[in-house]
Amino acid sequence: MTAKLPVLQLGKHRPRYPLIQGGMGVAISGPRLAGHVAKSGGVGTIASVGLACNFSFYNGRNYFEANVRAVKESILQAREIAGPEGVIALNCMVALTDYDRHIKAACEGGVDVIVSGAGLPLRLPEYAKDFPDVALVPIVSSVKAASLISRRWEKTYGRIPDGFVMETPKYAGGHLGVTKMDQVDDEAFSLDSVVPELVAFVERELGPDIPVIAAGGIWTREDIDHAFSLGARGVQMGTRFACTYEGDASDRFKQAYIDATEDDVVIIQSPAGLPGRALKSPFIAQYLEGNVESKPCIANCLTHCRYRSEKKTFCIAQALIDAYRGNWEEGLFFCGSNVTRVTELQHVADIIRELFPE
């Protein structure tokens, strides 16, 4: 165990522990999970994508309006659980059609931090401009991406990122932040390669106060200490928090995690055109064989969607909602490679106590 934990300062916000629970859509990290993580001293992150599906005011025809309302309501609910000291974040994917609306809704709803990836968040400061206290944290997989984002932000908006989440495609869940399949296992994108490079870049170009947060494959305190030894000042963890009593997903979703073996974990080319890691549910097994039948597109939710444009692949929003609700036959169950280490439900507070006994 390291002698002293690094302090994770994200703009004006500082969680008790240098830990961010990663945003997991659709609705896997909703207000309940985020609220409990924040209450226990980490940054609790609500994933904004498709949040409406969790609320009774979504009627199947008002997806975009309902999402905006759901973002605000979810932040309120998470804050109620977390208490005034808790740090609440919103994870928003750049690839969403209504990205700008989610960012504005989160800022108006009183979020502390916005974490944003699945594309380069080049215009994020524009959408958050009236809320300088909201910390803005891009997710990147390379120094090149971090450099592009910070140069553009500085030049156009006179602001720099408040931190970077560096996510490795080798172990992470969901969309993997690289565009090609052969990059997923490429050592050039490993935490050991990129975190020290990114830390050096940030210190040289942006100053000593901007933290790098490591993500992908982190499970134990040893993993966390290793990330700190590379220069990270925080870690982001997803998979381990999805399967908690407080997790927002259905019991069937969590059971799929408990049952998963190594053979069940696959990489797919998602409808968004990015590789993603997921469980081989019957639906995904059919997709990999090339004969999947999709449910209809629910809302034009992605700016680039191969299902909408070419009728290839499938409606990802629908498949993720099916997974969240526990439909094993038809769902897309995103997961990190550590899903094989999930053996039981745990309480958020117990996980955080185990990771940070101090």
Residues of this chain that interact with ligand FMN (CB under 6 A) are 22-25, 28, 47, 49, 91, 93, 117-118, 139, 167, 171-174, 215-218, 236-239, 242, 334-336, 338
Which lies closer to ligand FMN via its Cβ, residue 109 or residue 173?
173
What is the smallest separation between the CB atom of 323 and ligand FMN, expressed in angstroms? 8
Strands 87-93, 164-167: parallel, antiparallel or unpaired by DSSP?
unpaired
Which lies closer to ligand FMN via its Cβ, residue 202 or residue 214?
214
Exposed e or buried b per residue across 302-312, where buried means at least 16 C-beta atoms within 10 angstroms of its C-beta: beebbbbeeee
- For residue 281, how many C-alpha atoms fall within 13 Å in the half-sphere facing its CB? 25
* Phi–psi pair at 139, nearest 5 degrees: -100, 130
The tokens describing 84, both together, are: 């005034």
What is the smallest separation between the CB atom of 124 and ligand FMN, expressed in angstroms? 13
**If you count them, how many residues does the chain have?**
358
337 sits in which H/E element: none
Contact 99, 92 (CB under 8 A): yes
Contact 334, 277 (CB under 8 A): yes
Q: CA-CA distance, 92 to 138, in Å (whole number)?
A: 10
Which lies closer to ligand FMN via its Cβ, residue 59 or residue 185?
185
What is the smallest separation between the CB atom of 118 and ligand FMN, expressed in angstroms? 6
Which lies closer to ligand FMN via its Cβ, residue 172 or residue 352?
172
Nearest to 54 by CA among 320, 276, 295: 320
Contact 189, 178 (CB under 8 A): yes
What is the smallest separation between the CB atom of 66 and ligand FMN, expressed in angstroms? 17
What is the smallest separation between the CB atom of 297 and ligand FMN, expressed in angstroms? 18
Which lies closer to ligand FMN via its Cβ, residue 61 or residue 344?
344
The tokens describing 98, both together, are: 């209504």
Which lies closer to ligand FMN via its Cβ, residue 311 or residue 342?
342
Which lies closer to ligand FMN via its Cβ, residue 143 or residue 278?
278
275 forms bridges with which residues in the sheet?
269
Radius of gyration of the chain (CA): 19
What is the smallest separation between the CB atom of 292 and ligand FMN, expressed in angstroms? 19
Q: CA-CA distance, 85 to 17, in Å (whole number)?
A: 12
Contact 98, 82 (CB under 8 A): no
Report the chain's terminal Cα–Cα distance, integer Å.
10
What is the smallest separation between the CB atom of 312 and ligand FMN, expressed in angstroms? 22
Which lies closer to ligand FMN via its Cβ, residue 38 or residue 335?
335
Which lies closer to ligand FMN via its Cβ, residue 22 or residue 125?
22
277 forms bridges with which residues in the sheet?
174, 267
What is the smallest separation between the CB atom of 207 and ligand FMN, expressed in angstroms? 25
The tokens describing 143, both together, are: 């120094």
What is the smallest separation between the CB atom of 18 and ligand FMN, expressed in angstroms? 15
The tokens describing 83, both together, are: 């208490």
